[in-house]
Structure 1
Amino acid sequence: MTVMVANRLVQNQAALSDIGRLALAFIDGGPEWLSWAISTPTAQYAFADETTLLAQVQQGLHTSRFAFLPTLQAMISPVKLISLGVADLRTLGRAESGDTSAPIQAQIKRIFTDHHLLSGSDFAQGTAFLQTLGVNQAGLFQFLTFEDQLALYQLAAQPSTQTAIPGTEAAQFAVSQARTVLEFADYYQFYLRYCSRMPTASTAQQRGTQATSALMVLLPLLFSALDAPQVPGLVSPAEVANAISVWVRNGRQVGFSRLSEAAAQIAQNTVFQLETGDAARALVQSYIAGAQALIVAQPVRQGILGQDGASCLFPIRSGDQQATLMLGGTGLITLRSYGLQPPSASETLVAGNRLADAPDSDA
């Protein structure tokens, strides 16, 4: 009957902090499990901290990072919940208990906005967007993960671009190129950004052919931009910064998580059009080198914790340059974006989210 949290013996639930108890209550069976573990003679558990306790109890009971809030119709990791603070967590608890009063509903809206949380109705916007694009029946979208739904929501939430390229055309191209939902989102954006620089008189067939040719040039050049440092899960910003520093000192670059993401960023943030061979290689290398220079000059300091409680975004900026690094659920640290323009509203949201500032003890 030993439950240790941060080397402290937990003999009853009152031994947890207020925020720890509140977050534990959102895990179905969480408080009951802790009572069982405390009272069972053969039980022995040790957790590094309350965040670790919440993550492992949620995963152990439900084999999922997400706690389901049925009243609010939201899936939120207890690790994310504990980052909200006592007051906001109590308000969520009141709403989950059935308080539908106007003040509570207004507070819930504010909490979801402040902490970038999404509910099922938010994710429905992403699937509705697919229907608008005419690709909702594509086999690619049969099995959507949380990350997939997030990417589609972000795609739907993006402000309309000043381009004559139809979204339906971009979607058909993306479906033909993508093998995952995340790649679909990347290739959709790649097509719109790349083709918007082509002559307005070009036809859809010509645009599709040119975009395909552009990818055939770009993608092989980006294989070297996929390397990335890795840490053991959700760690502090200081540990992320240190991992990046060691990685760079060893002569390596912080790359993207996937080729399609890199291609979309090249289309958005460079003048790439019809370059091939050495000209294309030089353009790609210059872009990647610029990102590395910013990463070295501006170490990460504060993270934005994802709704999944496992991913974290780290925005960095210097002058008119900005980049976003992402700590993924597997501990990989990748380059999410780099350019001279400020990040879009959807970018500051992810994994992502939907995201809120992560406490230093977690990320």
Structure 2
Amino acid sequence: MPSEYTLLVDDQDSQINYLCPTLKQIVAGSYSNNTWSTIKSETCKDGWFQYTFYGTGIRVDIPTMHPSQDVSVTLDNAPVSPQQDGSFVSAVLSDGEHTLKYAVGQVKNTPVFDYLTVTAGVSTPLNGRTLIVDDAETSVAYRGSWSTSPPKELKYGYSTPLYRDTAHWSSTVGDSVRYEFTGTSVSVFGLVVDITRNLTASYTIDGVTQSRGIPKGAFDSVPMTEFFYAKDLGPGQHTLIVNLTDVQAPQAFGFDFIAYNSSVDSISSLPDYVPAANAANGLTSGSGRIGLGPGAIAGIVIGIIVFLALLIAGIFLWRSSTRSKKGVVALGSQNASYDDIEASKAAAQQQQMQQLEK
């Protein structure tokens, strides 16, 4: 199960409210939805766009190449500090409705707004929306000799970074990537080093395989994440396997991220969803049943040991008490133990009976 679910919101999403003159650029293959946006004038210093979302966090990557002091961000009407290049990553937020306002004025280079991402919470509507999965996500399974370091130094343009600055690389035939998801479509994005040679990969979804080569328009001298493969599917759970079928070093296949359209209403509808309270208590769900985590199991074992110890102690005391009653012996010590008290009572009762008989 992914550690978190991330909603991808394209710059052309209808819920993004542009507050000043904005220019849309259409670029084939290398950007989300083949578009990115930028400002037309410095009037955007009072507000470029505003976005209201439901979730637990938001991330905006809008590189300006050089550090800019003319960028401001407010979150829920409170000013927050963007990074020097104009990007912003929020702290963890309470799950619910939030509003981000982004403003940028005079900059040395055109700011490029391709998309933003939202960390989904239970309140986040997901049905039909696009989720993005980074190559570094623990739910992505790799087989073979993948590396997180590129085979050679890559010089990216300021507007063409990798998603979250990470990728997995391979130059070995047979290396593969596997990911399971619940949705109605899936896309694979990455990049290639040395496009002068042929490179192919197979894409298998639920047992059906298709092969693809290097996409047309792929760049090598200025690396950019490329659209490698896409498939529309019926709603439900699916398994994607990407397998390298023809690659030769120093050529390399770079896997950057997966995007898919969700077919559930919220993360609470996902098959492996675990409420935060249950997860904290060690409860996990899977295959329609609830299991116990290591902490919960350890607690149960300790409880059983304590119970058995108390039971044995009780039996021991009961047997000792029984022996004392049979002997009717008054102990002379000052020990206020269970045996002392019961023996004293028995001796006093015997003395009373002897006096009555007299």
> What's the TM-score, normalizing by structure 2?
0.25
Greater fraction of residues in helix: 1
> What's the TM-score, normalizing by structure 1?
0.24
Greater fraction of residues in strand: 2
Question: Which is greater in Rg?
Answer: 2
